[in-house]
Structure 1
Amino acid sequence: MTTPNQWGIREVAVATFYDLKTGKALVQLNNLKTSGLENSAETVYARGGRGNAKILGFSSGREGKVTLQDALFTNQVIAMMTGNSLDKASQQIYQRDVLQVSDNSASLKYTPAHAGALISVYKLNSDGTHGTELTYASSSIAAGKYTLTAKVLAFNTGELPDGAEIVAYYQTDTDATSNKITVSSDKFAGSFKVVLDCLVRDVVTHQDFAAQIVINNAKMEDNWKVDMAATGDPSVFDIPMQILKPVNGTEMWTMTIYDDALLA
């Protein structure tokens, strides 16, 4: 079937990122909400004559932008935009436990990452705010003190009645499968080859054809955000990129329309 000369496009692309150094595929995004290309250039004009009208135009400063909007957040892509690697290992996270006292003690939900004093321990007021702080005692318990053995906090006898609430802040360890994403002051987003696979529809036959856009050098922008809100649609992740000229050529991007049923 002859590939179309006129076509329409609607479906969002599938985006695949490749490492510029190794050529290896890094990640594919197949849950995009939008994908778009923008092309621009600067034009200066020679003017003259009565009315100082434009006579000749000289174009330069070719630029291109690609913006992907993902319905999901992908750890690998976020890491690529930070310039840091993903840290897949056990990490220490902060934990807040509200505990009820029973028989002069209370048990934490998790094991603290550090022996000794917790970050903070407070008696809890009836409105949920912090009351009197309880401080750590390394040996004998006195008024206003607590000791810690494994996950169990022990309090001065009779100081806290059964059912009284305390709040404890501490750190605990995750398992080894956790992913840590880091934004640091000395690392920035990288450049990658980006391939966008699309569908186009022939205006004459109304048949669908495959189209592949290859962006040889796309620099991820460093300005991006993660929105969080209590209402509305789920947050989306915008991935803005600048299209750069490859060092060994002039093709900033190409688009090939083809019949995938006739692939070799």
Structure 2
Amino acid sequence: MNIDKFTITSYDQLTGFDRTNGSLDLILDELSDFKLAQEEEKTDITGKAGRTIGSLKKNKKVTGSGTNGMLAGGALAAMTGSDIEDGEYLIRYTDTISVTNNAGTTTETAIGTTGNEIGTIYVRDANNAYISGGKKLTQTSAAPAAGEFSYDPATKAVTFFAGDVPDGTEVIAFYDAKVTGKKITNDNGTYSKTLQVFIDVTCEDGCDNLFHGQFIINRADFSGTFEIQGGSESSAQNFEFTSLPDLCTGKSDLWTFVLFD
């Protein structure tokens, strides 16, 4: 290992840990790019005839920024100042229901006020429109009349008025359903986290020897400015943080770089 001449060939992963209890909060292991940038203010000290005789240096600042090739729940939580929660949650479910013999079945159990769990079912017109065209059926808790339907949450059965919806028709329903999953909440009054960060890298010296390195940032203040994108572009996770001195321990290190075989 010769650190007189070496390059960083890859950024392997970034891990972030809670500064209080040491728990793992995030891991970014598909880093497509990463950069550590340093700034420093320098003011020249001038003497006679305006010549520069020294300089005053202050306000050193280190920022880290990069892109992970995939979205990461831990990073979203860090940048929104939230936690990843496990539990049961309500979502708005879009359901396409096939009608046979004036009946159909929802995929999920619709949840809501008794007799109004679904509320409205939409029937598409010949142009497949169900907002600007088509017709709307209203839920009833009694036997359905023309333009109505009933719903039994216990069996997920939907019953239409006889002849209202032809067999083979696909109707659309939007309703609240309970799912088991994970939740990240972006609360207006909660802000991005400050974590202890470790950045693992692979290095190579001028003699083609591979070795490892790790940047240690004891107080990385994550930015709450980010984008979530998808569609024609892949869903990537951009992130940025500012390294701060650790006022609790009195250490002013903005980063430490350890190199090892």
Q: So what's the TM-score if we normalise by structure 1?
A: 0.87
The aligned counterpart of 1:143 is 146
Q: List per-residue Cα deviations over 1:103-144 (Å, max 9, x = no partner).
A: 222221222123422143122112221122111111132221
The aligned counterpart of 2:109 is 111
Counterpart secondary structure, 2:230: coil
The aligned counterpart of 1:98 is 96
Offset at residue 145 of structure 1 (A): 1.2
The aligned counterpart of 1:239 is 239
Offset at residue 255 of structure 1 (A): 0.8
Task: Say if 2:215 and 2:256, in contact at 8 Å, map to a contact too.
Answer: yes
For 2:143 and 2:120, locate their aligned partners in 1 and report how far apart those are by CA, in whole Å. 19
Offset at residue 3 of structure 1 (A): 4.3
The aligned counterpart of 2:225 is 223
Counterpart secondary structure, 1:13: strand
For 1:127 and 1:47, locate their aligned partners in 2 and report how far apart those are by CA, in whole Å. 79
The aligned counterpart of 2:205 is 202
What stretches of structure 1 of length at least 5 have no aligned partner? 260-264
**1:167 and 2:172 matched:** yes
Letter in structure 2 aligned against 1:138? S
What value does the CA root-mean-square deviation take over the aligned residues? 2.0
Label 1:141 to 1:54 Cα distance change in 2 as closer, same or farther (>3 A).
same
Letter in structure 1 aligned against 2:95? D
For 1:165 and 1:23, locate their aligned partners in 2 and report how far apart those are by CA, in whole Å. 52
Mean Cα displacement is larger for which, 220-229 or 121-130?
A: 121-130
Counterpart secondary structure, 2:76: helix
Q: Aligned ranges for residues 1-264 of structure 1 at < 5 Å?
A: 3-47=2-46, 54-114=52-112, 115-117=114-116, 118-130=118-130, 131-150=134-153, 151-175=156-180, 178-203=181-206, 205-229=207-231, 231-232=232-233, 234-247=234-247, 248-259=250-261
Q: So what's the TM-score if we normalise by structure 2?
A: 0.88
Mean Cα displacement is larger for which, 185-194 or 94-103?
A: 94-103
Q: List per-residue Cα deviations over 1:82-115 (Å, max 9, x = no partner).
A: 1111121111111122223222222212221234
Q: List per-residue Cα deviations over 1:6-50 (Å, max 9, x = no partner).
A: 212221232121221123443433222122210001222345766
For 1:119 and 1:215, locate their aligned partners in 2 and report how far apart those are by CA, in whole Å. 53
Task: Say if 2:13 and 2:28, in contact at 8 Å, map to a contact too.
Answer: yes
Offset at residue 237 of structure 1 (A): 0.5
Number of equivalent positions: 252
Mean Cα displacement is larger for which, 158-167 or 179-188?
A: 158-167
What stretches of structure 2 of length at least 5 have no aligned partner? none
Label 1:201 to 1:96 Cα distance change in 2 as closer, same or farther (>3 A).
same
Q: List per-residue Cα deviations over 1:232-251 (Å, max 9, x = no partner).
A: 4x221112111111111111
Task: Say if 2:39 and 2:62, in contact at 8 Å, map to a contact too.
Answer: yes
For 1:136 and 1:185, locate their aligned partners in 2 and report how far apart those are by CA, in whole Å. 36
Q: Percent identity?
A: 21
Mean Cα displacement is larger for which, 22-31 or 84-93?
A: 22-31
